[in-house]
A and B are shown apart, each in its own frame.
Chain A
């Protein structure tokens, strides 16, 4: 074995490299904080309680909800001067499930410090990601994992919003054996010139008078209310009797138009008590 300088130099290079990364990370950390968004799923002015509670829609139909879940993605935070901070896309996909409280708390990391006046996001999954290579569908977008019940194989694409439940208005016709309604809404517009319906919607929420300050190494918490009844009420008041099952058909457009308004800003929030779930972060973590 010869002891030459070759043995030494690479190590020095590696150390320098590691040191520079640490410096770089530190620089970023000094200027950013996190924003936690707490989603609160409701029905009108009542809390959403799965299965056991009965609600009434604008059409006068009674219904109970057994399942409610949706994708939110592509978050942007708006500053007072109108400029935006765009959360890196790979960290910006979330699947909120009423059945799993830990999914109702999402964390947007590395947000530049400053004051923000609003947040916008996509309801569903944007068309680019819907058409992307399977390697770019991780975390909640994994069709063989977390996203398994939010994907249509036969018409390639994610289900953006899914609500199921029971209603006495469901007609017992055809093969139906139960008073179950199902609204599975998706369709991202199709590929190239091969168009399908495009049910991608965006939410654009103002923080109103609240000053949402992001501080270095700190977590700022805000709330967003999601009103599940908006699937049924809005520009089209849905009759559950007439449309007990909507999945990718032409009528899905009306439900998507309705739910485009289901999100509302719900004020600054405190840290949730322990046990309310650990919170989820972007899809690649």
Chain B
């Protein structure tokens, strides 16, 4: 209770930061260089359980009509919560939406949501993709009904809100809680602004000055947006979408769209509301020489009889250099926001900058494949042992699995596969060793969740599974820290963390690998 209250207080972050216990990371903190958030936290105080529930919902495909699309499908962490490589978002039944999915971070500072600002509150935003026939094609009423029928969600709502009731307010507020924790404020620019030992290079500083001088009327402040709607002169013949006009029906709003921020641009390509520009160079070229005049063109782009913004090649390169300082790897690789977590250990050497989610690591070597097939077999034995509470079997399977993991012929892997395997093995080997060191079921269970999590990473990256793989999560496992396991059946086959004493744990199951 005390802990919970402490966390809830942390939810008010800005005002009550001093009350937070030191060992609990605050759920929401206003970065020192940011303005006060606009979201009314008092109406939806963040709690650890509320955020966890929101995250669960965010990544649950149950939110879509045919249970195939989750929020996370079109808002991927490593892409700044946009959709990798999609100009227009890709929704249900392979339908495309009419606009590029917007990045999701620093939402606590936003006032209008969506490219046309048609939604005036973050809490109400999830209704849009939920109901859009080309996104999730569902109704909230149906989703709530589906959630009520699951075993896993009512206990999670109890944890978050005090009773198992699943209703509109709780659903929407849990999603907001998770989304509000997505704060990106740890870029090199931020560290420089906060005097955290980072100094921008000369070119970057000149780029910053240029952005403030030439782009700063719209891309203003620390969020680099004035949150207004403007027509930036994109060629209309390519797209008749009138943006803000659809909401206000005011002629002056024709072709106006929200001014987006400039953070994490390195991963949010393509750009503009319809994703028509693939690179930042193309964006700058648009502003310097591609602006099309029209009755609602922003006056700032038509000054002194000149269309667009005068930019020399040198200025463009400095602006591009500065924009890179707004990329925030701390945020983009933060496990707190990831569906199942990415490799956590710091990466070294030539592999340090690799984004593993973008690298094809598919394992084709037949000898290695046979080895890993055996690993999967021993994992199944281990799982069955835990279900039956047979510590000796669990121990034996773990030792056999460890033997293969340790001795697998790494020389048969590509350089990238080897680097990735080394990362995963560090954790996977550790937990497997612990499961195998004793026949004590309690100790085995303490390590089984992380073992499963890291095995999942391996299977996913190396494409080791032959059948669809299901990922299960029991929030009560391992002293309420939660635990994972994998099966090749949709049924979780019981609960390895509680075995014969299975209780209502609120297990979430996903199919994760086809």
Contact = CB atoms under 8 A, between A and B. Distances in A.
B130 A133 contact: no
Looking at A137, A142, A143, A156, the one whose CB has the most chain B CB atoms below 10 A away is A156
Looking at B168, B173, B246, the one whose CB has the most chain A CB atoms below 10 A away is B168
A191 B123 contact: no
B248 A144 contact: no
A6 interface: no
B120 A143 contact: no
B72 interface: no
A144 B171 contact: yes
Contact of A135 (B112, B169, B171): B169
A154 B114 contact: yes
Interface string B330-354: 0000000000000000000000000
Given A144-B167, A148-B141, A133 B43 contact: yes
A153 B114 CA distance: 11
Contact of B140 (A135, A143, A156, A197): A143
Contacts of A196: 247-249
A151 B247 contact: no
A151 B127 contact: yes
A203 to B, nearest CB: 25
A190 interface: yes
A145 interface: yes
B168 A134 contact: yes
A156 to B, nearest CB: 5
A190 B119 CA distance: 10
Contacts of B43: 133, 135
Interface in A139-163: 142-145, 148, 151, 153-156
A194 B249 contact: no
A195 interface: yes
Contact of A143 (B40, B127, B249): B127
A194 B121 CA distance: 13
Interface string B93-129: 0000000000000000000101001111101100110
Contacts of A156: 118-121, 124
A250 interface: yes
Looking at A133, A153, A154, A155, the one whose CB has the most chain B CB atoms below 10 A away is A153
Interface string B170-213: 01110000000000000000000000000000000000000000
A155 B118 contact: yes
A148 to B, nearest CB: 4
B139 interface: yes
A148 B167 CA distance: 12
A250 B242 CA distance: 14
A36 B471 CA distance: 55
A194 B112 contact: yes
A202 to B, nearest CB: 22
A97 to B, nearest CB: 15
B238 interface: no
B248 A190 contact: yes
B131 A153 contact: yes
Interface of A: 131, 133-135, 137, 142-145, 148, 151, 153-156, 190-191, 194-197, 249-250
Given A133-B121, A134-B123, A156-B124, 18 more contacts: A134-B124, A142-B167, A142-B168, A143-B124, A143-B127, A144-B141, A144-B143, A144-B172, A151-B127, A153-B119, A154-B118, A155-B118, A155-B246, A156-B120, A156-B121, A194-B248, A196-B248, A197-B249
